[in-house]
């Protein structure tokens, strides 16, 4: 059970923004955001300090694909750089969330301000992820089209499971959050902040100048980083499942209620968590738990967030 009036970083999974993964319109997203706001408002109304983070996979992919399609129709049109697409997705997702949360709190007569911050996250230019980009983004292309993009744009293109060729970008580990002092000031003043959207816009520091780079930072690791910086009590990662499980989808599947950091490491070594699914969530939770004594992380579903905080469900990871 989470102690009263805690500082919580809440990492929202894709289901918190897109109820139907195939429907990524703005209209559908705002309706899903309104439902998501109810669970968030429950936590705020209970007296917790809540800082929000979120993913942006479908949204930034749609933006990139739109620009790519337009450029194919009219080659004279420039393709929007990937960091800018990340910032654009942060902006409109943040707008939907801040509006939905503000309206839900107003219905409950809770007077709180909500602000979305376009957040830059510093990464290391020498991160191993840049040596072998693996994160697919944007449209599918033929082999011939991909070869042109490699030559003219310098893209890294890979064949994607027989469906065509796609651009791939790196997924580096976050080092720091540029806007952290501003975020901390807003949180300390009692307001609600939406930050590191989609993992933040990845930037590298070149001789004091911040340069955006084409990459995707895992939103769970970015959420962990801002949770450390803000000295949060808890990191809560909301996903599509109520509890973390070992032997997932097997006859001996077992859901986990509370595990130690040592047990989490053992399960990781045994290969229980899928790399593109639960593994980054458990790794981010583990990193936060080990960053300072007394910290804990909870992984559960959006619908069960309040029950998880009350100790009724979810998987709690402790030191």
Residues 6+ apart with CB under 8 A from 249: none
Indicate the pairing of strand 165-169 with strand 192-194. unpaired
- Say if CB 213 and CB 202 are below 8 A apart: yes
Q: H or E stretch including 209?
A: strand 209-212
Query: Which two tokens mark 231?
Result: 């000295």
Number of Cβ within a 10 Å radius of residue 69: 11
- Say if CB 137 and CB 81 are below 8 A apart: no
Active-site annotation holder among 197, 199, 219, 287: 219
The C-alpha atoms of residue 72 and residue 257 are separated, in whole angstroms, by 50
Q: H or E stretch including 27?
A: helix 26-45
Q: Known catalytic residue: 135?
A: yes
Q: Known catalytic residue: 15?
A: yes
- Say if CB 112 and CB 192 are below 8 A apart: yes
Q: In what order do the strands lie in the sheet with 157-159?
A: 135-141, 165-169, 157-159
Indicate the pairing of strand 234-239 with strand 296-301. parallel
The C-alpha atoms of residue 24 and residue 227 are separated, in whole angstroms, by 28
User: At which residue do the structure tokens 């340069």 appear?
Assistant: 211
Active-site annotation holder among 13, 15, 94, 304: 15
Cα 156–Cα 198–Cα 51 angle in degrees, nearest 5: 160
Residues 248, 249, 252, 258, CA torsion sign: positive
Query: Which two tokens mark 249?
Result: 């989808």
Helix extents (H) in 215-260: 219-229
Active site residues: 14-15, 135, 219, 281
């Amino acid at each position: 059970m989470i102690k009263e009036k805690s500082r919580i970083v809440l990492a929202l999974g894709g289901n918190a923004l897109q109820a139907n993964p195939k429907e990524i319109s703005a209209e559908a997203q705002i309706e899903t955001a309104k439902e998501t706001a109810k669970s968030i408002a429950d936590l705020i109304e209970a007296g917790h300090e809540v800082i929000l983070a979120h993913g942006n996979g479908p949204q930034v992919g749609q933006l990139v694909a739109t620009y790519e399609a337009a450029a194919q129709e009219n080659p004279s049109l420039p393709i929007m750089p990937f960091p800018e697409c990340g910032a654009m997705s942060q902006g409109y997702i943040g707008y939907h969330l801040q509006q939905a949360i503000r309206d839900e709190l107003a219905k409950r007569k809770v007077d709180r301000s909500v602000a979305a911050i376009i957040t830059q996250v510093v990464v290391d230019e020498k991160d191993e992820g840049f040596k072998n980009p693996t994160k697919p983004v944007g449209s599918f292309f033929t082999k011939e089209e991909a070869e042109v993009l490699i030559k003219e744009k310098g893209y890294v293109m890979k064949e994607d499971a027989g469906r065509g060729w796609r651009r791939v970008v790196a997924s580096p580990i976050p080092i720091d959050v540029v806007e952290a002092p501003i975020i901390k000031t807003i949180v300390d003043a009692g307001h609600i902040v939406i930050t590191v959207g989609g993992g933040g816009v990845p930037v590298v520091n070149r001789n004091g100048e911040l340069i955006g780079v084409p990459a995707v930072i895992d939103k769970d690791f970015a959420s962990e980083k801002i949770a450390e910086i803000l000295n949060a009590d808890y990191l809560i990662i909301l996903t599509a499942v109520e509890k973390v499980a070992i032997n997932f989808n097997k006859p001996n599947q077992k859901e986990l209620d509370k595990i130690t950091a040592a047990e989490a490491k053992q399960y990781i070594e045994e290969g229980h968590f899928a790399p593109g699914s639960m593994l980054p969530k458990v790794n981010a939770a583990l990193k936060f738990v080990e960053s300072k004594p007394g910290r804990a992380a909870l992984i559960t579903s959006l619908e069960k967030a309040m029950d998880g905080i009350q100790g009724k469900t979810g998987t709690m990871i402790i030191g």
